[in-house]
Structure 1
Amino acid sequence: KTLTLSKTLLNGDTLPVSLITSNGYRMDMQDLNVDFGKRSALTDKEVAGDGPIGRFRANKMVLQPDANRLSFIGDVTIRITQQNKGGEQ
């Protein structure tokens, strides 16, 4: 079975889809296709986000939790924020 999440309608306003991880990453996108049978998710639209190491964006994202893999595809940009030895930016 596949679940497709697109812009969420709330009181007439549309909201993008966001994924927030327990280790501090956030990814924002316009839609997300989830395949429960394959335990995977993908979006073929722009995805952007940030986390402990910095910011990123790509044209597409594929999530395969069984393979422990998150792939960003197409015009990928990553900006790594250097941290000092104490872990602060």
Structure 2
Amino acid sequence: MSEIAARLTTQNRAWAHPGSNHDRVVRIALVLLPILIGALAAFLVSAPLFMGGDVSFVLDKNKVAMSPERLKIVAADYRGEDSKGRQFELHAGSAVQKSSAEPIVQLNQLNARLSLTDGPATLVANHGRYNLNTDQMMIDGPIHFQTTDGYVLNTNDATIDLKTRLLESGGAVTGNTPTGTFRANRLRADLDKRLISLEGNAHLRMTPKPARRP
């Protein structure tokens, strides 16, 4: 080995010798680099929480679980007006709308309050379907309708138009009026005008009012 090569070899060994400048730089880097990496990772994780603006992301529709029910509400309220501007209110223990393209809302534990010419009336049913476009209710099962002036109607599987206050039953009906009781296989009624049309085995029992004493 030449004298120059031997001198370079000696210098290189001295540069990497323990206690040299290079050795101190390596030791410091072994400590600082993990700390810097940890700090950078913590900043990247926490930055969206402290920085303004929107955070966007993309979901693969083929990998995201889809719910069969688009919207489910507990204790739902619906309000509207009839053709004469009178208010009605529907309250349900729960409501389910399966699709935004389908205007039908499934209602459970239904309680409706209607404003009529002679005062308010209430309607109670266990299950029903409300059409958001037509303001019609299709009741499944028993229905109890009552006014404040003594009219009571009990029927099954009826359709009620909240705009016109017309009711058409799909099953047997019984009821009370201030003048007596009635029953029939089917019924059509104008709830606001108190006009009732009975169809099939109609029975009406009149209760005469007590005579006034002179």
Equivalent residue pairs, number: 77
RCO higher in structure (CA 8 A, sep ≥6): 1
Alignment-derived partner of residue 138 in structure 2: 4
Alignment-derived partner of residue 32 in structure 1: 158
Q: Which has the higher strand share?
A: 1
C-alpha distance in structure 1 between counterparts of 2:211 and 2:198, whole Å: 28
Q: CA deviation at 1:64?
A: 3.1
Q: Confirm whether residue 43 of structure 1 aligns to residue 169 of structure 2.
A: yes
TM-score, length basis structure 1: 0.69
- Bigger radius of gyration among the two: 2
| 1:34-61 per-position Cα deviation (integer Å, ceiling 9, x unaligned) | 1345542210211001122111001111
Alignment-derived partner of residue 53 in structure 1: 179
Q: Which stretches of structure 1, 4 residues or more, deviate above 6 A after TM superposition?
A: none
C-alpha distance in structure 1 between counterparts of 2:166 and 2:190, whole Å: 5
Code of the residue aligned with 1:71 in structure 2: it is: S
Spell out the pairing of 1:8-27 with structure 2 (5 A cutoff).
16-27=142-153
Aligned-residue RMSD, C-alpha: 2.0
Alignment-derived partner of residue 77 in structure 2: none
Query: Kindly tell me: are residues 40 and 52 of structure 1, through their superposed partners in 2, closer, same or farther at Cα, counting changes over 3 Å?
Result: closer
TM-score, length basis structure 2: 0.32
Listed as ranges, the gaps of 5+ residues in structure 2 are 1-133
Spell out the pairing of 1:77-88 with structure 2 (5 A cutoff).
77-86=203-212
Asked if the contact 2:150/2:178 (under 8 Å) is kept, the reply is: yes
Q: Percent identity?
A: 26
Query: Kindly tell me: are residues 20 and 36 of structure 1, through their superposed partners in 2, closer, same or farther at Cα, counting changes over 3 Å?
Result: closer
SS in 2 for 1:84: coil
27-36 or 57-66, larger mean C-alpha shift? 57-66
SS in 2 for 1:6: strand
Listed as ranges, the gaps of 5+ residues in structure 1 are 8-15
SS in 2 for 1:75: coil
